[in-house]
Structure 1
Amino acid sequence: MATTSAPPRPATARRTTIALKILMAATGLVFVGYVLLHMYGNLKALGGEEAFNTYAEHLRTFGEPMLPYGGLLWVIRVVLLASLVGHVYAAFSLWSRAGNARRAKYAAGKAAMKTAWMRWGGLFLLLFIAWHLLHFTILKISPNANANGPDVENNPYRLVVASFQVPWMTLIYVLAMLALALHLAHGVFSAQQTLGWTGTPAAYRRAKAIGVVTAVVVAGGFLLPPLAILFGLIK
């Protein structure tokens, strides 16, 4: 009686690696969509207090009565949390596999620097996300609140203005956006490569350009409001 032998280990490892790369690409694209929408919302601050606060309130009432108050935000949070867990899991699994398969150092210094940056830049962004949630959602940290009127923590626009009038808080944000830009430039390209969208030299160059443009648009859009506040263009 013939028996079916188990697939060789290298083939199984390759399939697992491909699955991890697809997971990383898919969850990364979820984050790209989110940061683009989040950036658009932040730019409402350039339109003044009413425009920004109306947008913030609309996020909470969107979908009523089918969704409860704030329901959309909770849907987004659950999707983002699941994507974050998947993305971090895939990233660390792939880095671990690469480390186990490579006993010697990289021969190419450029590749080593890029990998190190994605690793440490990603960790920095994780820490920033935690800080960002504490800053604007959980604790609503506002060291300059007294200069912006009473109950500033319950006024989204006033909280943003109070925060970025403080230079060190703006600096944290600027550094995070620079890290995000570099992460996006490489990540968006890598996602397209994983999904098979870089099969020709023209497609490869296009994927690189899309990564750079996405990084510049997102980081630039996010930085406009805090820098405008810091330099007194928004009060």
Structure 2
Amino acid sequence: MAITTRSPIRSSVGLKAVMAVTGIILVLFLIAHMLGNLKIFTGETSFDDYAHWLREIGTPVLPGVWFLWIQRTGLVVAVLAHIWAATTLALRARAARPVRYAHRRPVQGSYAARTMRWGGVLIGLFVIYHLLDLTTGTLNPVGDPSRPYANVVADFAPERWYVTLFYTLAIVAVGFHLRHGVFSALRSLGQQTPRGERRARAVALVFAVALCAGYLAVPFAVLTGWVD
């Protein structure tokens, strides 16, 4: 009888490792990106200089904006790997429980799973729009790569409130995702006692709220006229 062996990376442990590594990469990017966004409060010149510096990282070893495209490619790979690992683990968990009960009290896991599904779709749509808006400039009222500050201000202008609303919904979805992900990671690190779980929930919530606040500070500052 033939014996089939599963690749280590396709094992449950391997998939969880993939989720952990890609999750860390994405969280670090979110933190760095948020800090970069907040430079808009230092003024137009400072923000524009920062944005132009990003395009010059790696020169003259790398031509033009190659570093940014290498970074974007790496992020896409990380996102796809994260989704693949999460989906595979979810399908395996469902296959292991083929019988559905007629009456079952909702649990945190099912709530988190539903949130992750609709949140993931919203985040995906937002990323596509965000790239067409502030990366390529296709959907931006200014769309001038030499004027990043002006692009941001024009993007979240009061008359474009719907853009700010879409941005807010997407960031809140990211917050839910981070809250669940950080909580799960802390539990995996041993915070499984009742007291440890409460601490893990608190840390995850504070982190998610802080990151969301950092991202939402920019569009609401523009919307209210603090940044113009």
Q: State the TM-score, normalizing by the size of structure 1.
A: 0.83
Q: CA deviation at 1:56?
A: 0.5
* Structure 2 partner of 1:179: 173
Aligned to 1:65, what secondary structure does the other structure show? Answer: coil
Change in 2 beyond 3 A, CA 1:67/1:36 = same
* Structure 2 partner of 1:23: 18
Contact 1:29 1:188 in 2 (8 A): no
Q: Deviations over 1:138-168 (max 9, x none)?
A: 343124x4xxxxx745411111100100100
* Structure 2 partner of 1:42: 37
Matches within 5 A, 1:57-68: 57-68=52-63
Structure 2 residue 201 is matched with structure 1 residue 214: no
Change in 2 beyond 3 A, CA 1:63/1:16 = same
- Partner AA of 1:128 in structure 2: F
Contact 1:164 1:226 in 2 (8 A): yes
Matches within 5 A, 1:74-93: 74-93=69-88
* Structure 1 partner of 2:119: 121
Aligned to 1:109, what secondary structure does the other structure show? Answer: coil
Query: Hey, what's the Cα distance between the residues in 2 that align with 1:37 and 1:49?
Result: 19
* Structure 2 partner of 1:162: 154
Q: CA deviation at 1:77?
A: 1.1
Matches within 5 A, 1:73-112: 73-103=68-98, 104=100, 107-111=104-108, 112=110
Q: CA deviation at 1:202?
A: 5.2
Contact 2:137 2:144 in 1 (8 A): no
Change in 2 beyond 3 A, CA 1:158/1:122 = same
Query: Hey, what's the Cα distance between the residues in 2 that align with 1:33 and 1:12?
Result: 28
Change in 2 beyond 3 A, CA 1:109/1:202 = closer
Aligned to 2:107, what secondary structure does the other structure show? Answer: helix
Query: Which structure 2 segments of 5+ residues have no match?
Result: none
Query: Which structure 1 segments of 5+ residues have no match?
Result: 146-150
Greater shift, 34-43 or 197-206, is seen at 197-206
Structure 2 residue 220 is matched with structure 1 residue 227: yes
Query: Hey, what's the Cα distance between the residues in 1 that align with 2:77 and 2:7?
Result: 25
Greater shift, 152-161 or 78-87, is seen at 152-161
Counting aligned pairs with the same residue, the percent is 38
Q: CA deviation at 1:12?
A: 9.3
Change in 2 beyond 3 A, CA 1:113/1:201 = closer
Q: CA deviation at 1:61?
A: 1.4
Query: Hey, what's the Cα distance between the residues in 2 that align with 1:159 and 1:139?
Result: 8
Q: State the TM-score, normalizing by the size of structure 2.
A: 0.86
Structure scoring higher RCO (CA < 8 A, sep ≥ 6) equals 1
Aligned to 2:11, what secondary structure does the other structure show? Answer: helix
